[in-house]
Structure 1
Amino acid sequence: MKLYEFPNGDTIHKYKKSIVILFKGQRNVLSTGPNNGGFTTDLSAVFNNDANPGSGMGIKLRADTYREHMDILAEEDLGLDSSACSGLLTAASMENAAISTLSYEDFSVTAITTAGVRSNGGRIGDPASWHEKSESSFDDTTPTGTINILLYINADLKKEAMASALVSCAEAKAAAMQELLISSRYSCGIATGTGTDGVIIIANAESNTHLTNAGKHSKLGELIGRTVITSIKEALRLQQGITTHSQHDIIRRMERFGVSEDALWDCYKETYRNLIRAEFTEILDHIRTEDRLVTYSSLYAHLLDQLSWGLLSFAECRIAAGNLLKLADLHPNPDYGSENIVQNYILAIAERIYHESVRPKQK
């Protein structure tokens, strides 16, 4: 299926669980893909492939290395010349890909994105899970959560401008994560992406528009930022139902600090014990999106961020945390102590659930 055709004749297609961009002329390409990655000028196509074999099944490579797998995929499944293409791998469905395009005067920018972050979201600088010794030791070939971006710029960009575009694309991805408050799965931080993200940037070397800068002060940088942010948010909505509405939830705001339904239940059953799990969950589901709780839980989370960044002292945060709980109509537990700000939050939510459970029901 042809999804889109650019004014220069290049086309975007969807087939064999892949999105493929075919070139009609010379294109400058900067790719993080394992096959023909880096900066190249002699490719005829790029692609993004959904390698997910099905629910509960792990992704298996069809060769000894990631690069060889991609070459086989290109030749056998997509009908491409493996020496003249570069590709990315993901477990996200191509049915949930999002396309965002913007134009300004004599050029345009188009971002085609697939995204998933629930299981693999991470913040740059988080603890690593492996150390690469050689290509064959690659140990990250199951992209359970991945943001892949094909960024097509219908203008001529030189090498340095391509590198600048990659920087702007990465910043836009981090901005999208921040605007949705996506949790890292490996730290208490807000995610800046996932551990398996990929980007391929394409520029039209035959264009009469020659651009040399893709930074934030340039119109090109602005359009990269806007298209990438828009396409990532839409891809996350389609793939995992992540929206500003779904994130309006105290668990979503506090989960990166260890606040989960399980943690709240463990605290509740140890302290109160008057509800079974189903009854507890029903009350939690009722209160977890309350405006007041979400608002002050958000401020509570940012307080913890500033503590971890060294912008506020523990003493400052301890006092402010207690005040925020009171503003949320919650009550700090004086018997627990103040050494664990997160645990005080969990105790306060558990207490709120208890009061809801014993409140007389209106007739």
Structure 2
Amino acid sequence: MKLCTLSTGDDVYRYYKSIVLMFAAERKVLSTAVLNGGYQENLTAVFNHDVNPGAGMACTLRAPTYEGHMRLIAQEAGLDPDTVSGMGTAASMENVSIKTESYQTLTVTALVTGGVEVNGGRVGDPATHFQPVDKSVIYKPGTINIMLVIDADMPPGTLARALVTCTEAKTAALQELMAGSNYSNGLATGSGTDQSIVIANPASPLYLESAGKHSKLGELIGRAVKQAVKEALLRQTGLSPAQQHSVLQRIKRFGVKEENLWQEYAADNGGNVIKPRFLEHLYQLDTDPQLVTYTSLYVHLLDQFLWELLSGEEIRPAGNELLALVAGKFGVPAPVIAGPELEDCLQAWTRLVIRIVREKYSC
């Protein structure tokens, strides 16, 4: 089905588990795609394809290489594989977000699909991939894929700067959602398999040589991409401010999860407690406005400790003040941070949550 026609005259279609952007004329394209990636001026279309065959099923390649696999996808979509560039993802094309921003004669449109629950990470996180993997398997990524259409002409260098601004906007969206990395204690800056395609219109009378944060083009890129990334994540996995208004979500990236809390609670009570009852009470407490707010403050202290903006000795008294404040509001004894290390802080917060569950629900 046809989704829309952009200001450039390019049509956007969704079919065969793909979003296809058909060019009405010559375009300047810069992409991170494996199929005809890099800088190109001879492409006729770009596409984003859902490689997920279904729940629990492996994504197997239909060619010796991933590039060959994408060429087959292009052919099946009725496209010339020599003149198109395409990206793969496990996100559904039904969940695409399309956002447009304009200023005077300049129009920018972002088309985004995505998810970060599976492999969202922070740049610089420990990684394992170095040697080639099994070429017969495609790993299902939680990829954020972006097609960014700029209705203006520009030199290749500015197109590259637009790609940088686009990436910054994606990261800003994730940080505003407080999305955690799956590989460290940090906030996610993207997924491990994100891809982007940036398109400029050489037929436009508008010629721009700046796409950074001081330019209107940079502003429009930031606004369009941030909105589209947030909406795509909401549609794909429910990631949103409402979902993140949760004690467990805020502390999850530090390894504090339902099972950890249950194990400690059960140990304190000699195992004489029913797990479903404990979890029911924990989930009721999870969205308590006061506890979510103070958990957020506590977590920010931990972040500043990890970023070496505050020392362990500096966050310890501040952390103890927060613990005492929250404990007083819930009428429980305040735990004390035993030492200046991260684990000491996490253990104290874990003890506080367990005491609140016990006192508030008498389970």
> What range describes the TM-score normalised by the shorter chain of this pair?
over 0.9
Aligned to 2:348: 344
Which residue number corresponds to residue 228 of structure 2?
Answer: 231
Sequence identity (%): 47
Q: How does 1:135-284 map to 2 (within 5 A)?
A: 141-272=138-269, 273-284=271-282
Deviates further, 205-214 or 269-278: 269-278
CA apart distance, 1:7: 3.5
CA distance in 2, matches of 1:103, 1:324: 45
Instruction: State how far apart, in whole Å, the 2-side matches of 1:143 and 1:224 are.
Output: 28
Q: CA deviation at 1:275?
A: 2.5
Q: How many Å apart are 1:25 and its aligned residue?
A: 0.7
Match of 2:2 in 1: 2
Rounded Cα–Cα distance in structure 1 between residues aligned with 2:35 and 2:244? 37
1:6 offset after TM fit, Å? 2.1
Partners in 2 of 1:177 and 1:224 — Cα distance?
16
CA contact (8 A) 2:33 2:195 kept: yes
Paired residues of 1:293 and 1:328 also in contact (CA < 8 A): yes
Partner of 2:316: 318
1:140–1:116 distance in 2 versus 1, CA, 3 Å: farther
How far apart in 2 are the matches of 1:43 and 1:150? Answer: 14
CA–CA distance in 2 between the matches of 1:6 and 1:182? Answer: 31
Match of 1:302, SS state, is helix
Distance 1:139 1:153, change over 3 A: farther
Deviation at 1:174, TM superposition (A): 0.7
Using the size of structure 2 for normalisation, the TM-score is: 0.94
Distance in 2 between residues matched to 1:179 and 1:139, nearest whole Å: 37
Mean Cα deviation higher: 6-15 or 34-43:
6-15
CA–CA distance in 2 between the matches of 1:228 and 1:140?
31
Using the alignment, how far apart are the partners of 2:227 and 2:203 within structure 1?
Answer: 27
**232-241 vs 141-150, which moves further:** 141-150
Q: 2 CA distance for matches of 1:197 and 1:87? A: 13
TM-score by structure 1 length?
A: 0.94
Query: Superposed, which structure 2 residues align to 1:298-313 within 5 Å?
Result: 298-313=296-311
Task: Report the Cα offset of residue 327 of structure 1.
Answer: 2.1
Paired residue secondary structure (2:280) = helix
C-alpha contact (below 8 Å) 2:89/2:145 kept by paired residues: yes
Rounded to whole Å, the distance in 1 between the matches of 2:24 and 2:333 is: 65
Structure 1 gap ranges (5+): none
- Cα deviation 1:300-335 (Å, max 9, x = unaligned): 11111110111101011111111112222364435x
Give the Cα–Cα distance (whole angstroms) in 2 for the partners of residues 148 and 201 of structure 1: 11
- Alignment gaps of 5+ in structure 2: none
Shift of 1:160: 0.7
Matched with 2:53 is 53
| Residues 332 and 345, structure 1, Cα contact 8 Å, conserved in 2 | no
Tell whether the 8 Å contact from 1:119 to 1:185 is kept in structure 2 after alignment: yes
- Contact preservation (8 Å) 2:61, 2:137: no
Aligned to 2:130, what secondary structure does the other structure show? coil
